Amino acid sequence: MAEKTIEDHIEETAAGAAQVVIDGQDTTAQPIPHLIAADRHLARKTAAASTALPLRYGKIRPGGSI
């Protein structure tokens, strides 16, 4: 079995419930802002690890007066 990375732990925590009460059968889901923050964090880590160079498009304009 492969070792779990921090990304795996973040995904599991975000997918799980924030609070669970067994006898009273009460569960509370993770707050939406926390899920969004976890998703952004994982996306940024994936983008930072990628080796692809971003493409930039722009117009070349001569400077100064002509």
The helix, strand and coil proportions of the chain, stated in percent and rounded to the nearest 5, come to: 40, 10, 50
Give the global pTM.
0.46
| Residue whose token pair is 């080796």 | 51
Report yes or no: 45 and 7 within 8 Å, Cβ to Cβ. yes
Strand partners for 28 = 19
pLDDT tens per residue, range 9-34:
777 777 777 777 777 777 777 777 87
Query: Residues 30-55: what's their mean pLDDT?
Result: 79
Which pLDDT band, with edges at 50, 70 and 90, does 1 fall under? low
Q: How far apart are the first and last CA of the chain?
A: 68
Average pLDDT of the segment spanning 35-55: 80
Q: Is there a contact between 38 and 25 (Cβ–Cβ < 8 Å)?
A: no
